[in-house]
Each structure stands twice: as structure tokens, then as C-alpha cells.
Amino acid sequence: MIWLTIVLMGLVVFFNRYCFLAPGLPLRLSPRVKTLLSFSVPAVLTAICGPIVAFSGDQLRAAPDNPYLWGAVFAVILAFFLRNMLAVVLLSMLIFIALRGIF
């Protein structure tokens, strides 16, 4: 039953993406829908990273000694100024590792 569920969910994901990526299909998105979809990646990323940055299990992490919070702050600042995703990821990882050593 688990394998059937995994295969069916894989098919759902495949056909969902195929409809948008196949050039031969007549499905075209309006500019408004494209604009709305451009906000989905930051929203999902924030929803995933927010609890990791702010909580440790059931407890709220204290701000001054939270390397996750400072790493996230530096990542946002670097992303604003650099506009290069690979550089932001690498530099923010290095900053986070250094902060984990300090705290």
C-alpha cells in the first residue's frame, strides 16, 4: 500500500510539472498568475526555514546567542547586496559554521 501511494504521488507530481513545462501543450499562464507564482518560492522557503531558525524543539531560541538567527540575517543581507545565489549560499554557510563555533 505504501509503494502504491509513493508511485501515485510521483505520478501526480510528474504530470503536474509536465503540464507547465511541455512546450507542445496549449496551457499558457496569464501574466497575473505568473506574478503570483513568483511569490511561491520565497513563501515556501520562509515557511520551512522560519521554525528552524526560531525554535529548538519546543523552546524559542534566545536571539543574542542563536547562530541560526544570525546566519539567516547575514544570508538576507548578502542576498540583497550580492544577487548571486551560489555566493550567498556559500558565504552564509561559512558565516553560520563560524557562528556555531563561537556560540
pLDDT digits (tens, 9 = 90+) for 49-68: 999 999 988 889 877 888 99
Do 98 and 52 share a structural domain? yes
pLDDT at residue 72, rounded to an integer? 92
Q: Could you report the per-residue pLDDT of 23-54, keeping only the tens digit for each?
A: 777 778 889 988 998 999 889 999 999 999 99
pLDDT at residue 74, rounded to an integer? 94
Do 24 and 48 share a structural domain? no
Query: Which residues partner with 56 through β-bridges?
Result: 59
Residue ranges making up the domain that contains 16:
1-29
Please return the burial class of 61, using the count of CB atoms within 10 Å of its CB with bins 0-12, 13-18 and 19+: middle
Q: What is the 8-class DSSP label of residue 63?
A: S
The count of structural domains within the chain is: 2
pLDDT band at 75 (very low <50, low <70, confident <90, very high): very high
Do 89 and 43 share a structural domain? yes
Which of these, 20, 15, 44, 13, lies nearest to 5 by C-alpha position?
Answer: 13
Q: For 19-23, what is the mean pLDDT?
A: 79
